[in-house]
């Protein structure tokens, strides 16, 4: 079962096996025992129970040279209550051996705050004084878990100092944990205290500008930083400007990943200005899906002129349009950087999407308007007489044009367009959920009803939808699905979504899948990135999306399936 990758490493192949007892892990124990001078143990990809972990921990008590504990994805399908004692037993073996770890990877184990509580003694022990790399990706930490983790590592730093040592952490990874602002602020205190970080990765954590600003202050105390990855948080212009202010102090940066962070134009201008005259080591910059206009993209391009090490520029998913993209390519080609430019497959703009109105008063059609003289009647139905100004045309009874009537949730359900979804306002998710027929307030709704609502909401989620529709769809499907996944109904939810798009047969012979499956399928890419989406569901989705199906043949040419699979394979 175990594969000895070298004389000092034991790597257990991930086969999704459920290992409960000491007998179940007999081969693993033998491999560990026979590996003299064990420095690395990888246990990823199987599911270990408490008794099995206790046996492995006891075996590790005789391995003082262990330095790399690569323990990601160890508890597939386990109850959360099973995880703390299993973690305590495993970590206890390392402490008993007085091993000094340099790398700890506990990613993709959904132990949450209670798991961190179980690990506090281990994280503050001498076994962690020497940590260089700490990976806590996709652990369901939340604000409480992130705060506990920060405190444990701060205590580790203090205990190390008392022992005449120093915690010199270089790599910290904690993506997909819903840390939010408070969790980010707690980690900022840790980062500021350490000052030794080289790589910080906190993607998909629901961090807003307050948390980003706190992180920016902490980053300024870590002059050796090479990687900052805040992908898919909500920096906004305020957070982006706060980061831009500290970037001049971080001249060793190689990777800046602010993709899908709502950096927007002013934030991007500030970042471009901060890196323009330095940062010669920069290799990768990501400002994709940040709502940038073409003129700001040109400013970013100009800021990269002296970056000889640059290998990747990602500006996809912004608001450029074909003509503007060509201008951008020409600019980068003149700087010998065209090869670094990524794809624009999901550009969301048109060539006439520039900020502000055209100075010439054109209608954006690209055609010259017919010449009009003072007193002439405009041919535009919405314009009146052209004089010193152009005003809305009056109706025959001289009433002003009436504003559009507000959209009701019933209107959206009958005509589920992106425009109607946005028009429902900020309470759209709750309004849509309230539309479900529960019979009584306390009665749960059938999962298939939620899946049907998901299909309606996601129907307008296509590559060329505007930013407002994209945000409305994503926030609404999250509100629909998150509670169900947290109630452990995720597998049923996914099954009914697959029924909605026709990839699974319904038991109801009268049921008909939705006619247009592009939106409901593409929205799965967003869902897969969320912290509530479990790893086993990714495997199920991969299975359905990769087997031949007449349902999928019609959209294969659009490239939707590879986009979803790309996200799923990274989970």
Per-position DSSP letters for 253-313, written without gaps between them: --EEE-TTS--HHHHHHHHHHHHTT--TT--EEE-TTS--BHHHHHHHHHHTTT-TT--EE
Write the Ramachandran bin of 382: left for phi over 0, alpha for psi from -120 to 50, otherwise beta. Answer: alpha
pLDDT of the residue at 382: 34
pLDDT of the residue at 437: 61
Contact 45, 15 (CB under 8 A): yes
pLDDT of the residue at 400: 45
* Sheet of 284-286, strand order: 3-6, 9-11, 40-42, 68-70, 103-105, 133-135, 171-173, 199-201, 227-229, 255-257, 284-286, 312-314
Query: Which of the residues in the chain have pLDDT under 50?
Result: 1-6, 351-404, 438-443
What does pLDDT average to over the chain? Answer: 84
Q: Residue 411: which residues within 8 A CB-CB, separation 6 or more?
A: 420
3-state secondary structure of 104: strand
Please choose, from the candidates 570, 544, 541, 538, the residue with its C-alpha nearest in 3D space to the C-alpha of residue 76: 538
* The overall pTM is greater than 0.85: no
Q: Residue 88: which residues within 8 A CB-CB, separation 6 or more?
A: 118, 119, 121, 122
Q: Residue 489: which residues within 8 A CB-CB, separation 6 or more?
A: 447
What's the pLDDT tens digit per position in 479-528?
Answer: 888 888 877 776 777 888 888 888 888 777 778 888 888 888 888 889 88
Residue 217: C-alpha distances to residues 143, 229, 555 (Å):
19, 15, 46
The highest-level CATH class for domain 1-164 is: alpha beta
Residues counted in the chain: 571
Residue 93: C-alpha distances to residues 64, 141, 195, 421 (Å):
10, 24, 30, 54
What architecture is the 409-568 domain classified under in CATH?
Answer: Alpha Horseshoe (1.25)
pLDDT of the residue at 557: 67
**DSSP code of residue 200:** E
Q: Where do the CATH 3.80.10.10 domains begin and end in the chain?
A: 1-164, 179-350
Half-sphere exposure of 494 (CA within 13 A, CB side): 23
3-state secondary structure of 571: coil
Judged on CB neighbours under 10 Å (0-12, 13-18, 19+), 555 is middle
The per-residue DSSP string of 336-351 comes to T-GGGB---TT----T
Phi then psi for residue 68, to 5 deg, are: -125, 115
Residue 405: C-alpha distances to residues 413, 415, 417, 423 (Å):
16, 15, 16, 10
Q: Where do the CATH 1.25.40.200 domains begin and end in the chain?
A: 409-568
Beta strand 284-286 with 255-257 is parallel
Rounded Cα gap, residues 422 and 471, in angstroms: 9
Provide the CATH number for the domain formed by 179-350 in this structure: 3.80.10.10
pLDDT of the residue at 504: 82
């Amino acid at each position: 079962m175990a594969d000895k990758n070298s004389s000092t490493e034991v790597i257990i192949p991930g086969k999704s096996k459920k290992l409960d007892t000491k007998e179940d892990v007999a081969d693993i124990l033998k491999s560990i025992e026979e590996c003299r001078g064990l420095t690395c143990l990888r246990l990823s990809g199987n599911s270990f129970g408490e008794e099995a972990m206790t046996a492995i921990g006891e075996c590790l008590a005789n391995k003082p040279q262990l330095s790399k504990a690569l323990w990601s994805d160890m508890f597939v399908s386990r109850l959360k209550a099973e995880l703390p004692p299993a973690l305590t037993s495993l970590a206890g073996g390392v402490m008993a051996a007085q091993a000094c770890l340099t790398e700890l990877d506990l990613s993709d184990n959904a132990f949450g705050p209670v798991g961190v509580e179980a690990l506090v003694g281990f994280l503050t022990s001498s076994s962690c004084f020497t940590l260089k790399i700490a990976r806590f990706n996709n652990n369901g930490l939340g604000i409480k878990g992130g705060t506990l983790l920060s405190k444990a590592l701060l205590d580790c730093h203090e205990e190390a100092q008392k022992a005449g040592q120093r915690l010199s952490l270089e790599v910290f990874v904690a993506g997909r944990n819903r840390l939010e602002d408070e969790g980010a602020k707690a980690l900022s205190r840790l980062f500021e205290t350490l000052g030794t970080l080289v790589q910080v990765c906190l993607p998909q954590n629901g961090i807003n500008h307050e948390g980003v600003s706190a992180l920016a202050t902490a980053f300024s105390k870590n002059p050796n930083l090479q990687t900052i990855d805040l992908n898919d948080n909500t920096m906004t212009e305020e957070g982006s400007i706060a980061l831009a202010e500290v970037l001049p102090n971080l001249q060793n940066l190689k990777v800046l990943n602010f993709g899908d962070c709502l950096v927007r134009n002013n934030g991007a201008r500030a970042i471009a200005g901060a890196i323009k005259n330095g940062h010669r080591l920069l290799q990768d910059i990501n400002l994709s899906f940040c709502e940038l206009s073409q003129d700001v993209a040109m400013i970013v391009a100009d800021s990269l002129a002296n970056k000889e090490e640059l290998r990747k520029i990602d500006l996809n998913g912004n608001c450029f349009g074909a003509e503007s993209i060509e201008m951008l390519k020409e600019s980068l080609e003149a700087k010998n950087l065209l090869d670094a430019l990524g794809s624009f497959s999901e550009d969301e703009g048109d060539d006439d999407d520039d900020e502000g109105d055209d100075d010439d008063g054109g209608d954006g059609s690209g055609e010259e308007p017919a010449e009009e003289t003072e007193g002439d009647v405009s041919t535009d139905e919405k314009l009146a007489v052209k004089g010193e100004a152009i005003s809305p045309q009056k109706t025959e009874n001289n009433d002003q044009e009436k504003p559009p009537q507000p959209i009701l949730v019933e209107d959206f359900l009958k005509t589920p367009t992106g425009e109607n979804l946005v028009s429902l306002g900020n309470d759209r998710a709750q309004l849509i959920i309230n539309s479900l027929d529960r019979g009584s307030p306390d009665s749960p709704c059938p999962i298939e009803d939620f899946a049907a609502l998901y299909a309606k909401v996601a129907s307008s989620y296509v590559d060329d939808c505007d930013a407002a529709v994209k945000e409305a769809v994503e926030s609404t499907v999250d509100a629909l699905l998150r509670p169900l996944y947290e109630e452990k109904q995720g597998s049923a939810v996914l099954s009914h979504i697959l029924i909605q798009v026709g990839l699974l047969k319904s038991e109801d012979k009268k049921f008909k899948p939705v006619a247009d499956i592009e939106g409901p399928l593409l929205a799965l890419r967003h869902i897969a990135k969320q912290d509530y989406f479990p790893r086993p569901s990714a495997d199920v989705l991969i299975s359905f999306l990769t087997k031949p199906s007449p349902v999928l043949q019609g959209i294969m040419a659009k490239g939707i399936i590879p986009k979803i699979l790309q996200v799923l394979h990274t989970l």
